Amino acid sequence: MKSLNPKRLPYERPETSITRCRLMKDENPAITSAVYIVGQAEIEFFLKGGETMNIIGVTACTAGIAHTYIAKEKLVKAALEMGHTVKIETQGTIGTEDELTRQDVEKADIVIIAADIKVGGKERFTGKKVIEVPMQMVIKSPKALLQKIEEKLKG
């Protein structure tokens, strides 16, 4: 597997972020290459073909610590493996991280809210397809959730 030069974003906080870039064609034949930055908003794909969804979302749990980040990680990983672009905002005890911008919301095909508590800022998703699911659904079966969403959007 070949390595790519890491892409650094102007708003990236080096002390808290992990940057990882790599070619993924051996892992998924539908992807020629993919650059993704763990813990950051930007994820880029160069696909051979097929449809991709631009997914945004919010994760939040009652404690706002572990499950919030586990759900985000699982959702991002599943979306990447399926060839989609994704940005997930977390809302927790330390505040909001990776906040969704107006441009993120405008470009989104679908909004997934995985939360066991009330999420702030839902009004920004007006006019978008919003799916609200319990946190455990995203943690236990993120691919199944995304496959179901794909089927609904196609049908």
Active site residue 61: yes
Instruction: Give the model's pLDDT for residue 35.
Output: 42
* 101 part of a folded domain: yes
Tokens 């800022």 sit at which residue? 121
Q: In whole angstroms, give the CA distance from residue 74 to residue 113.
A: 14
pLDDT confidence tier of residue 93, bands split at 50, 70 and 90: confident
Show the tokens assigned to 95. 């505040």
Pick the catalytic residue: 61, 111, 115, 149?
61
Show the tokens assigned to 122. 């839902």
Q: In whole angstroms, give the CA distance from residue 129 to residue 149.
A: 10
Instruction: Give the model's pLDDT for residue 64.
Output: 67
- Does position 54 have pLDDT exceeding 50, yes or no? yes
What tens digit of pLDDT does each residue of 98-146 get?
999 999 999 999 999 999 999 999 999 999 999 999 999 999 999 999 9
The answer to whether the CB of 90 falls within 8 A of the CB of 68 is yes
Strand order in the sheet with 95-97: 95-97, 85-92, 54-60, 110-115, 130-133
* 24 part of a folded domain: no
Q: Greater confidence, 86 or 94?
A: 86
Residue 109 belongs to domain spanning: 52-154
Instruction: Give the model's pLDDT for residue 110.
Output: 94
Most confident of 11-15, 24-28, 75-79: 75-79
**Rounded average pLDDT over 48-62:** 81
Q: In whole angstroms, give the CA distance from residue 89 to residue 115.
A: 11
Q: In whole angstroms, give the CA distance from residue 25 to residue 96.
A: 33
Q: In whole angstroms, give the CA distance from residue 107 to residue 56.
A: 9
- Does position 58 have pLDDT exceeding 60, yes or no? yes
Domains contained in the chain, number:
1
| CATH number (domain holding residue 101) | 3.40.50.2300
* 122 part of a folded domain: yes
Number of other CB atoms surrounding residue 12 within 10 Å: 16
* 16 part of a folded domain: no
Q: What is the pTM of this model?
A: 0.68
The answer to whether the CB of 54 falls within 8 A of the CB of 84 is yes
* 69 part of a folded domain: yes
Q: In whole angstroms, give the CA distance from residue 22 to residue 6.
A: 9
AA identity, residue 62: T
* 27 part of a folded domain: no
What average pLDDT does the chain have?
75
- Point out the least confidently predicted range of 37-41, 66-70, 117-121: 37-41
